[in-house]
Amino acid sequence: MRGDLVVIGTAFCYLALLFMVAAWGDRRAEQGRSLIGSPTVYALSIAVYCTAWTFYGSVGRAAQYGPSFLLIYLGPTLAMLLAPFTLRKMVRIAAQQRITSIADFISARYGKSARLGALVALMALVTITPYIALQLKAITVSHAVLMNYPLGADTTLDNERFWMDRSFWIAMVLAVFIILFGTRHLDASERHEGMVAAIAVESLVKLIAFIAVGVFVTFILFAGPAALFAEVAATPALMNSMRLDNVPGGATGWVGMLVLAFLAFFTLPRQFQVLVVENVDEQHLNRASWLFPLYLLLINLFVIPIALAGLLLGEGDPDSFVLTLPLSAGLEGLPLLVFIGGLSAATGMVIVETIALSTMVSNQLMMPLLLKVKGLYSGRHGRLADWLLNIRRLAILLILLLGYLYHALIGDSYSLVTIGLVSFAGVAQFAPALLIGLYWRGATRQGATLGLLAGFFIWLYTLLLPGFAQSGWLDEALIIQGPWGISWLSPYALLGLSGWDIYTHSLFWSMLANVGLLVGISLFTRPTPMEQTQATLFTEAMHPHLPTTARWQGQTSEGALHALLVRYLGEGATLRVFTDPHAILNDSEAYQRPASSELITRAEQALSGSLGSASASVLINSVLRGEALDMESVLTILDTTSQALEYNRRLEQKSQELARIGEELRSANERLREVDRMKDEFVAMVSHELRTPLTSIRSFAEILRDTPDIDAEKRQHFLGIMVLESQRLSRLIDEILDLARLESGRLSLKPVPVDLTHVAQQSIEALARLHDEQGLTFELQVEASPAMVLADPDRLEQVIINLLENARKFADAQQPNIRMRIYAYDNCFRLSVEDNGSGIPPAERENVFEKFYQLKLKEAPQIQGRPKGSGLGLPISRAIIHHLGGKLWAETSSLGGTAIQLELPRHTV
Amino acid sequence: MNPLSASSRRRERLIALALLALFMFCPPMLLMIDRLPGFLGWLPLYLFIVWAVLIGFTAWLVEPSKRP
């Protein structure tokens, strides 16, 4: 059953199936019915993160280093949590600028620098080659394990001629496969919908295969997790296998690895390809931000049970436990499924990584070189689209050959995980230029270039070189004693920093140099106008009013632009840029017509999508006449836009403020009118009030003057009235003066501690005679004595007398009854004067404190027979009590009439 | 709440969740869990549970609610 033919046949069938899925996806995309327009497919395509390294290596790492394998997946989980802040921005920029790869992204950010793009592409090539080698190794080893079990797998990797080596043929098959569906056309968007669909299928296959092994090992090989863990508990050697002590570098190593996985998730070329370049809708990031971590969790769920089971049963190399455990049980089908799962994981990674790398090689390395060759774009050559595709095809072949070479020459001495982590640390060097450049406008090309170079060389020295030494290519003394015996230069303990695990150590030094140089150099260099423009376009990408056109100030004809596009992109793509290309070809006038800046921008974007932004910029410049680029003006536009927005926002704020102030003014005006009206009324009333006694005095005086012989008794009576009326007049004038002083704040009160009860009693005595005359019932309830308050005694007495007088006037005419109560309330003393009159309706209660209010009452016909008063008593009383820090208000009395409440704060010595 | 402030509130919640995740996956918390007595150590179980809860919270935060 487990014949070579069956295994290889199944593998080819599987690859053929993938190819069909990819072809179907591409056809659907051409028909405009995209297969990958679903957030779930997007999340599954991101799972290309889980390579053969996850599939076989996780178990190996868990067996050796305990729970540290989880860090490789917790880092991306954190990164996906931050997707709305980082990845969303990257996706939007990539869509605006037609970014084709991470090298293109970094190059575009730093002023479309061709050199920086080439540097990133080269670095990616160096760091990713071992990773591709790892996948080839995984396929070869898993195949060998499948074929040779229960013998060891070592026999396959021999030093025979390469055409006898299976890995070589695997690499070649994969190369053909990738060329077939990765470079079908040189599309403007550089999207590979078919590939993404195939990757999503592969992600499902590897997940199902891994969970199948997990379920088999946990529930069939052992009778459930409880039984497995019980057996582990009985094995002392495994007691500490899942503790932190087992993690290389302990807590420091833990954090280092978490950071490493976090950064690498953004910068691995294949992750950038599926996350950013292949993204069709930025809303898909929402679903992916939890579905992808869930995928990671599921694929890791059974890693520990499998690792522990493998260790218990002693099944050889931990990296192969996934295969050897079902094999040891004598199964046939499951190992084949596992092999296909591993193949899925490996091919998925190799496909995407190779396509990403080949795009970088053609756009960032080859195109700038080709453009330097004189005359290449001057019009003598035919269209270059086919050239580019061929370059890409060649690049795919070369990349896989390079991977094979690495695998054949060095890969044998490393475990899967080690190679993977070395690559991680390498690509993590892109993170500062990428992430800092995304948020800090001041990062410059020189800073990014030097930071990248420094980080890369430290990585080379502290991780890659020692790897060569361990493979026997270099003297191993280099690691232990340092070069030329200089111990502080030792690659694993640079400057004497020892005790950390090698990855954290390398990450620390390389990031220190990388970030340090990026920030430091940027602070002391001036960006070119192009850099400034691009920096603004990147950092302000989420700005809702970011202009994307009007970049080109130079002049060119539509015909020249058309010829350029046809030469590099072919007729099909040109058709999408020009709305009516036939008119241009047939009409010589249209051919000469100046191209609009929108058209130039569209043309540049189309070129960027296929050739990379740096080359597109060079090409467009080649057909522009005169002032090619005026970046300053773009910058001005950008600044003006953001200024205008800011200005707009402020204006809106101001107008709201104005509206509010207007409203306030209107109500103030309303109040003023009311006050003015009241003042007029007041003057009228005062005059009226003054005239009444004055008229009376005058008429009696006239009688006395005109009637000299009036009898003495009558004269006495008239004179008495005149005295009374003038007393009333002077009292009125006193009150008006009081009120004026109170209202203008000129009244001087002399507050001293007095006993409220004592003052009240004095006032009652002053009025006692009046009360007796009227036959009035007076009750006094003193519940607090002494009731010390701070007040002017004369004024206080004036107030109380006024209250008592009012009560007397308004009390029931037949059986007048007044009650005064003095009591403590909270931190105050209160004095209430109640009568049994008809009371004041609640709506009118505040009005009685208005000046001359009772006069107004008099005008109302339904309230009759009010005794006359000046109408100033209560307003004056309230003003005095307010001056003393108290309150005066009206309530309903329990006697049926009104209760006027006076409250003054308690005085404490 | 207007849509703008709802989305900014969602962003704030995501940042808080990311910080919480960082705290849960880093040493002080980790060392405490690792030192709990038990024959195999509780660390893997702890990590898986925190991870699952985190995924649940993220899904709850980012998925549009089913309410009309």
End-to-end CA distance of chain B: 16
- Distance to chain A for B28, nearest Cα, Å: 9
Q: From CA A906, how far away is CA A789, in angstroms rounded?
A: 5
Contact by Cβ (8 Å): A315, A321: yes
Name chain A contacts of B56, Cβ cutoff 8 Å: 290
pTM of the model: 0.69
> Do the beta carbons of residue A510 and residue A57 sit within 8 Å?
no
Question: CA A677, CA A688: separation in Å to the nearest integer?
Answer: 16
To which H or E segment does residue A594 belong? Answer: none
Indicate yes or no: CB of A244 within 8 angstroms of CB of B31. Answer: yes
Nearest CB neighbour to B22, from listed A78, A239, A240: A78
Instruction: Find the closest chain B residue to A67 by CA distance.
Output: B44
Which residues of chain A lie closer than 8 angstroms to B40, CB-CB? 229, 232-233, 238-239, 241-242
pLDDT of residue A633: 55
Per DSSP, the three-state class of A278 is coil
Residue A73, pLDDT score: 94
C-alpha distances in Å from residue A688, one per residue of A559, A652, A740, A851:
98, 53, 18, 14
pLDDT in the model for residue A34: 78
Q: What is the DSSP string of A815-846?
A: S-EEEEEEEEETTEEEEEEEE-S----GGGTT
Q: Do the Cβ atoms of B55 and A244 come within 8 Å?
A: no
Please work out, in degrees rounded to the nearest 5, the angle formed at the alpha carbon of residue A245 by the alpha carbons of A497 and A71: 80
Question: Does ipTM come in above 0.90?
Answer: yes
Q: Nearest residue of A to residue B17 by CA position?
A: A81
Distances in Å between the Cα of A462 and the Cα atoms of A120, A510, A603 are 19, 9, 45
Residues B37 and A350: their CA atoms lie apart, in Å, by: 44
List b or e across A801-812, with b for residues whose CB sees 16 or more CB atoms inside 10 angstroms.
bbbbbbbbbbbe
A232 neighbourhood in chain B, CB within 8 Å: 39-40
On whether the CB atoms of residues A272 and A438 are closer than 8 A, the answer is no
Nearest to residue A249, comparing CAs of A76, A428, A497?
A: A497
Is pLDDT larger for residue A857 or for residue B38?
B38
What does the pLDDT read at residue A786? 83
Q: Which helix (H) or strand (E) holds A516?
A: helix A502-523
Does B34 reach chain A within 8 Å, measured CB to CB? yes
**Separation in Å, CA A144 to CA A63, A298, A338, B37:** 21, 27, 13, 42
- Among B17, B22, B41, the residue with its CB nearest the CB of A243 is B41
CB A534 within 8 A of CB A634: no
What pLDDT score was predicted for residue A206?
Answer: 94
Q: Is the dihedral of CA A331, A332, A333, A336 positive or negative?
A: positive
What stretch of H or E contains A904? strand A898-905
Q: Give the DSSP letter of residue A867.
A: P
Cβ-defined contact of B51 to A77 (cutoff 8 Å):
yes
Strand partners, A777: A817
Beta-carbon pairs below 8 A across chains A and B:
89
Does B44 touch chain A if contact means CB atoms closer than 8 Å?
Answer: yes
Contact B55/A at CB under 8 A = yes
Q: Is B29 an 8 Å CB contact of chain A?
A: no
Which two tokens mark A157? 């990797």
Nearest-Cα distance to chain B for A242, in Å, is 6
* Contacts with A633 (C-beta within 8 Å, 6 or more apart), sequence order: A553
pLDDT at A664: 93
From the list A84, A293, A304, the residue facing B55 with the nearest CB is A293
From the list A81, A243, A291, the residue facing B34 with the nearest CB is A243
**What CA–CA distance (Å, rounded) separates A338 from A340?**
5
* B6: contact with A, CB 8 A cutoff: no
- Beta strand A777-782 with A817-825: parallel, antiparallel or unpaired? parallel
Residues A754/A796, Cβ–Cβ less than 8 Å:
yes
Set of chain B residues whose Cβ sits within 8 Å of the Cβ of A286? 62-63
Q: What is the mean pLDDT of each run of 10 residues along chain A (909 residues)?
A: 77 89 84 82 93 89 88 93 90 87 92 91 92 87 82 52 72 86 61 86 94 93 87 80 80 91 94 91 90 95 92 83 88 89 92 90 85 57 67 90 84 65 92 94 93 95 82 72 77 81 92 96 88 82 63 68 75 73 62 75 79 77 57 56 75 91 93 86 80 86 86 87 87 83 78 88 84 83 86 87 85 85 89 86 80 56 48 83 88 84 86
Judged by CB atoms closer than 8 Å, whether chains meet at B27 and A254 is answered as: yes
Residues A504, A506, A510, A516: is their CA dihedral positive or negative?
positive
Place of tokens 């305990």: A66
| Both tokens assigned to A323 | 């295969």
Say how far apart CA A509 and CA A140 lie, in whole Å: 35
